[in-house]
Amino acid sequence: MKILILGAGGREHTLAWKLAQSSEIDALYAAPGNAGTASIATNIPIGVNDFEAIKQAVIAHAISMVIVGPEDPLVNGIHDFFLKDAALKNIPVIGPQKAAAELEGSKEFAKKFMIRHQIPTAAYQSFTAENLEEGYAFLEGLTPPYVLKADGLAAGKGVLILNDIEEAKKELQQMLVAAKFGTASATVVIEEFLKGIELSCFVLTDGENYKLLPTAKDYKRIGEGDTGLNTGGMGAISPVPFADEVFMTKIHDRIVKPTVEGLQKDNLPYKGFIFIGLIKVNEDPFVIEYNVRLGDPETEVVIPRIQNDLVSVFKAIANQSLDTVELKIDPRTATTVMAVSGGYPEAYEKGKEISGLNTIKDAVVFHAGTKPENEKILTNGGRVLAVTAFGSNFKDALEQSYKNIEQLHFDGMYYRKDLGFDL
């Protein structure tokens, strides 16, 4: 089987690494990929939103399945594009159709979905420029901190949490009237602030059947002790130690099951991963957000714990027989620590040579922002490398991740040394 993975991050390298272990793989492609995917697959230099170029590549290489890494192409309707094209319609795409991808593409859509299916989430109201004054009044009725969310995709930057009412009003005005996040903030969801510890739950569905994948927790802030700016994620741990059986049953019964059933009731075709961002308030789970893809760096700890042949699992999604698959999960804990470019998440330099990759023995290094050049591997993004290791608990696993990341080097390299501090 010939499989194409769309994307260029640590998530996509991890998927490629796992798929490459399957005896069913004849050829693996990544578009556009990075230096990590280039070592086990063929990189094709096309963008994830260039559907015509993707079509040409799929035909040229006789690709028989496409795995979509990031959300953009899903929200832009890549799955629908395949279904509508005579030459592509029988090639399975792992990722939901456009209508279902709105769960990530529109926060308001996601909130309405949760209310309709009685899935626990923060109370909210949404506003546009026409009812800005009502938005101010709604803010005044809340207790701080105030949570403002741009409705559309804003590259992970569209959520603001503010302590001061005047600042919250100013930001609301900036988002709605001054288009702070472009058209993404033409509608703003204002919601109740929930206090608790966050975790993520991953679900794989074929639209009818579903499987729960391992839980994970990521560390979003750049600084130790969860301080400083938000990043794409500085590291992750799976499983989440506080997600015990009682709590997981609540997540399943109150959130996962009604989500998959809700997709069916609403006629939202979904074959792919659902990433549910959760918060534990006292002993109860609430949904913070849905993503219609795997998380990054959560993938770097979730996928290595799955012991099944991933090609078989994806085939079962394609032909809607996921009920026949029995998932085998490695009981050990996996951790990943992200090495980032100096300055990230603000301005940073690219093109720094990476050394030490060949000395890593007790961990797997997944590439995020890297590119091959001649015989060298250079940095090519903010998040550069994710070092994944296993252990009998998260402390042991982290010790391995840290021991190995110390062998790696590039100019300006930074990583957080305190992952797991809150557990």
Binding residues vs ligand AMP (CB under 6 A): 122, 147, 159, 191, 193-194, 198, 277, 288-289
233, 258, 345, 382: which one binds ligand GLY (CB under 6 A): 233
Contact 14, 344 (CB under 8 A): no
Distance in Å, CB of 9 to ligand GLY, minimum: 9
Distance in Å, CB of 207 to ligand AMP, minimum: 25
122 binds, among ligand AMP, ligand GLY, none (CB under 5 to 8 A by kind): ligand AMP
Looking at the chain, how many residues does it have?
A: 423
Distance in Å, CB of 374 to ligand AMP, minimum: 39
CB burial of 113-127 (b: ≥16 within 10 Å; e: otherwise) equals bbeebebbbbebbbb
Q: Which two tokens stand for residue 302?
A: 């979730």
224 binds, among ligand AMP, ligand GLY, none (CB under 5 to 8 A by kind): none
218 binds, among ligand GLY, ligand AMP, none (CB under 5 to 8 A by kind): ligand GLY
136 φ, ψ to 5°?
-60, -45
CB burial of 2-32 (b: ≥16 within 10 Å; e: otherwise) equals ebbbbbbbbbbbbbbbbbbebeebeebbbbb
186 binds, among ligand AMP, ligand GLY, none (CB under 5 to 8 A by kind): none
Q: Which is nearer to ligand AMP, 90 or 230 (CB)?
A: 230
Q: Does 218 bind ligand GLY (CB under 6 A)?
A: yes
Distance in Å, CB of 376 to ligand AMP, minimum: 36
194 binds, among ligand GLY, ligand AMP, none (CB under 5 to 8 A by kind): ligand AMP
CB burial of 131-150 (b: ≥16 within 10 Å; e: otherwise) equals ebeebeebbeebeeebbbbb
Q: Say how far apart CA 260 and CA 269 lie, in whole Å.
A: 10
Q: Does 295 bind ligand GLY (CB under 6 A)?
A: yes
296, 317, 367, 413: which one binds ligand GLY (CB under 6 A): 296
Q: Which 8-state DSSP code applies to residue 220?
A: -
Q: Which is nearer to ligand GLY, 206 or 298 (CB)?
A: 298
198 binds, among ligand AMP, ligand GLY, none (CB under 5 to 8 A by kind): ligand AMP
Q: Say how far apart CA 227 and CA 148 lie, in whole Å.
A: 20
298 binds, among ligand GLY, ligand AMP, none (CB under 5 to 8 A by kind): ligand GLY
37, 97, 238, 291: which one binds ligand GLY (CB under 6 A): 291
Contact 305, 214 (CB under 8 A): yes
Closest CA to 221 of 418, 362, 86: 418
121 φ, ψ to 5°?
-155, 170
Distance in Å, CB of 200 to ligand GLY, minimum: 8
Q: How many residues bind ligand GLY (CB under 6 A)?
A: 7
Q: Which 8-state DSSP code applies to residue 420?
A: T
Contact 337, 397 (CB under 8 A): no
Q: Which is nearer to ligand AMP, 62 or 197 (CB)?
A: 197
Q: Which is nearer to ligand AMP, 4 or 122 (CB)?
A: 122
214, 298, 363, 365: which one binds ligand GLY (CB under 6 A): 298
Q: Report cis status (omega within 30 of 0) of the bond before 32.
A: yes
Residues that bind ligand GLY (CB under 6 A): 218, 232-233, 291, 295-296, 298
